[in-house]
Amino acid sequence: MSQNYAVIAPNAERVSIPINMDTAYDYYVYFSKELKYNGKTVALVEATDRSQANTAQVTDTNPVYTTTINSSNVPTNTVKPAVMVKNNSAKSVRVYYSNQQKTNSTAGGDFVISSGASQLVSGFEINDNTNVINFSALAWEQNKQVPVDMVMQANKVYEITIPNNEIAAEISVQEVEASQYYN
C-alpha cells in the first residue's frame, strides 16, 4: 500500500481497511515495539516478516478480503538505532537519508525540521552509517552531509546537531545510550 499504513492493535490477527474495488494492493506486515520519549509514545519498527507479504484485492463477486497475521517474535532486549536531529540553524532544513525510506523500502522519506526544532527518527538498521544523512535548505548553496563516519549500533541513539552557523564540517554526532531516550 505504498505510503499508507494501518495500525493493528497488539495481538490482533485481522485488520479491515477500506480499499477500492478491482484494485490490487501489495502490503507487508511490520512489527513494532512501543517506546516512550519525553512522555510521548513513539513506535520503532523492530521486525519485518517478509513471508507475510501479500496482495489484497476485492471485486464485485468477492467483496471482502481477509488475511490472518501470524505471530512474530519481536526482540525485547534490542532497540534498533535511531537518530535525534537537532536543528540549531536559522533555516528550515530538509532531512533525507539514502535513496530509500528505511521503514518501507520505497523512494522518499524526506522530512522537514524547522529552525530550533528537534526530531527523533527511527527506521535505521544496525550497521547503517551516519554519513548517509543529508540536509538541504533553499537558502543554502550546497547540500550538507553528516561529516562523521559513524557505524550505528543497537541500543544507541545518534544525536546529530546542525550548528547555527550552518557550516557542514561543524555538524556534530554524538552516540548515546538508547536508555536516555526510552523507558
Pair 57, 147 in one domain:
no
Domain boundary among 34, 55, 74: 74
Distances in Å between the Cα of 139 and the Cα atoms of 12, 144, 146 are 47, 12, 18
Pair 39, 59 in one domain:
yes
Pair 163, 90 in one domain:
yes
* CB-facing half-sphere around the CA of 37: CA atoms within 13 A: 14
Q: Which domain holds residue 130?
A: 82-180
User: What's the total number of domains in the chain?
Assistant: 2
Q: Which pLDDT score is estimated for 76?
A: 65
Size of the chain, expressed as the number of residues it contains: 183
Pair 164, 133 in one domain:
yes
Pair 34, 114 in one domain:
no
Taking only the tens place, the pLDDT of each residue in 121-176 is: 887 888 989 988 888 888 888 888 888 889 999 889 999 999 998 788 999 999 99
Pair 63, 98 in one domain:
no
Question: Rounded to an integer, what distance in angstroms lies between the CA atom of residue 127 and that of residue 142?
Answer: 27
Pair 9, 61 in one domain:
yes
Question: Rounded to an integer, what distance in angstroms lies between the CA atom of residue 178 and that of residue 54?
Answer: 34
Pair 90, 161 in one domain:
yes
Domain boundary among 58, 74, 90: 74
Q: Which bin fits 61, alpha (ψ -120 to 50), beta or left (φ > 0)?
A: alpha
Q: Where are the beta strands (DSSP E) in the chain?
A: 25-27, 30-37, 40-48, 54-56, 82-87, 93-97, 111-113, 118-121, 133-136, 144-145, 156-162, 172-177
Name the band, by pLDDT with cuts 50, 70 and 90, for residue 104: very low
Pair 63, 94 in one domain:
no
Which single residue is written with the C-alpha cell 535513496? 99
**Sign of the torsion formed by the C-alpha atoms of 72, 76, 77 and 80:** positive
Question: Rounded to an integer, what distance in angstroms lies between the CA atom of residue 110 and that of residue 39?
Answer: 25
Taking only the tens place, the pLDDT of each residue in 18-70 is: 778 888 877 777 777 777 767 766 666 667 777 777 888 888 888 888 777 77
Pair 10, 57 in one domain:
yes
Domain boundary among 54, 74, 94: 74
